[in-house]
């Protein structure tokens, strides 16, 4: 298995026309696109400050250790319910503001890699649990060939009802979605590439001939090492926090050593009662 800090290049595929499938959050971009959109929605007064704070904590947790199936489904329900009564048009108008937050967080290395795939004749798609509408806008802006995303809420008369409806592209649903796309477009999945950070996307990664783990969570890293999949590391937040923790421990140890030396090199054991 090859482990890289940056891109790995897009080698010539075997027989058949392959594609390249990219997860969005923590794969194409740093952190969560949903959180960036939530910040825009909060600024427009459509969600509470308390909900945004919860999303901020969830975003940090996601960047450090990934997210569980239960957390992902709970997030979908929360997003859907928060949209109840909001006009679809009003949410669509916030898209440009969300893009201003998302685009600077894209990994240049991943964009370069995606374009290498296109230049090698492979169409490139975003495959995400995030909104289908947002995924399509991002795909157009980045000159990708398409996007597969989720339906966040049922819509009646141009207004969100707040009830989850339609496809939720999470877990095995991503593998099913790219399989349907491959059949429709005449793509060879064995000649295709897939990139993701999460073990929840293992079905999609297993569905292609060239799976790549990008900024993998602990479970995906274990799976990748066992299967010999390629690993790419771009997100340094977790590493920085671990280093900060190590420095804090070192500083504490240094302070303790200095205190010991200041007392003649001996640790003082407190007596019972403080005497």
Domain layout of the chain by residue ranges: 14-234, 238-274
Confidence at 5, pLDDT banded by 50, 70, 90: very low
Average pLDDT over residues 105-114: 96
Structure tokens at 131: 């909104």
As a CATH number, domain 14-234 is 3.40.50.1000
Query: How confident is the model at residue 199, as a pLDDT?
Result: 93
Query: How confident is the model at residue 166, as a pLDDT?
Result: 75
Q: Is the pLDDT of residue 123 over 90?
A: yes
Confidence at 75, pLDDT banded by 50, 70, 90: low
- Nearest to 79, CA basis, from 51, 43, 40: 51
Residue among 23, 55, 197, 201 flagged as catalytic: 23
* CA dihedral (84, 86, 88, 94) positive or negative: negative
25 part of the active site: yes
Given a contact cutoff of 8 angstroms between Cβ atoms, the answer to whether 228 and 1 are in contact is yes
Confidence at 77, pLDDT banded by 50, 70, 90: confident
**CA 189, CA 38: separation in Å to the nearest integer?**
34
Report the range of poorest mean pLDDT among 43-57, 161-175, 202-216. 43-57
Task: Between 27 and 3, name the one with better pLDDT.
Answer: 27
Render pLDDT for 227-271 as a digit per residue (tens, 0 to 9): 999 999 996 654 444 444 444 444 444 443 344 334 444 333 333
Task: Between 102 and 211, name the one with better pLDDT.
Answer: 211
Confidence at 194, pLDDT banded by 50, 70, 90: very high
23 part of the active site: yes
Q: Is the pLDDT of residue 222 over 70?
A: yes
pTM of the model: 0.71
Residue among 25, 197, 201, 217 flagged as catalytic: 25
Query: How confident is the model at residue 35, as a pLDDT?
Result: 60
C-alpha to C-alpha distances, 114 to 42, 140, 145, 186, 266, nearest whole angstrom = 32, 13, 10, 20, 60
Instruction: Centre a 10 Å sphere on the Cβ of residue 218 and count the other Cβ atoms it contains.
Output: 10
Task: Between 85 and 121, name the one with better pLDDT.
Answer: 121
Render pLDDT for 28-61 as a digit per residue (tens, 0 to 9): 999 877 766 666 667 766 555 455 445 444 444 4
* CA dihedral (26, 199, 182, 74) positive or negative: negative
Top-ranked range on mean pLDDT: pick from 52-66, 71-85, 189-203, 241-255: 189-203
Confidence at 76, pLDDT banded by 50, 70, 90: low
Report the range of poorest mean pLDDT among 27-31, 80-84, 193-197, 208-212. 80-84
- Nearest to 67, CA basis, from 219, 236, 241: 219
Q: What's the mean pLDDT when you consider all of the chain?
A: 76
């Amino acid at each position: 298995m090859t482990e890289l800090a940056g891109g790995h290049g897009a080698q010539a595929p075997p027989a058949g026309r392959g594609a390249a499938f990219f997860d969005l959050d923590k794969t194409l971009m740093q952190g969560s696109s949903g959180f960036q959109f939530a910040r825009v929605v909060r600024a427009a007064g459509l969600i509470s400050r308390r909900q945004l704070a919860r999303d901020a904590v969830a975003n940090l947790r996601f960047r450090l250790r990934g997210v569980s199936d239960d957390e992902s489904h709970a997030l979908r329900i929360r997003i859907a319910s928060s949209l109840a009564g909001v006009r679809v048009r009003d949410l669509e108008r916030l898209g440009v503001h969300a893009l201003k937050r998302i685009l600077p967080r894209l990994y240049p290395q991943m964009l370069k890699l995606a374009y290498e795939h296109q230049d090698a004749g492979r169409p490139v798609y975003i495959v995400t649990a995030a909104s289908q509408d947002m995924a399509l806008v991002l795909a157009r802006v980045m000159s990708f060939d398409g996007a597969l995303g989720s339906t966040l809420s049922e819509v009646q008369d141009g207004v969100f009802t707040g009830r989850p409806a339609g496809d939720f592209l999470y877990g095995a649903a991503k593998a099913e979605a790219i399989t349907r796309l491959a059949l429709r477009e005449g793509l060879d999945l064995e000649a295709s590439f897939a990139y993701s950070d999460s073990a929840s996307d293992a079905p999609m990664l297993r569905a292609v001939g060239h799976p790549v783990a990008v900024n993998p969570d602990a479970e995906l890293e274990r799976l990748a090492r066992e299967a010999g999949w390629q690993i790419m590391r771009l997100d340094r937040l977790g590493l920085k926090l671990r280093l900060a923790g190590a420095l804090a421990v070192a500083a504490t140890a240094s302070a303790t050593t200095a205190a010991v030396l200041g007392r003649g090199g001996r640790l003082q054991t407190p007596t019972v009662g403080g005497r």
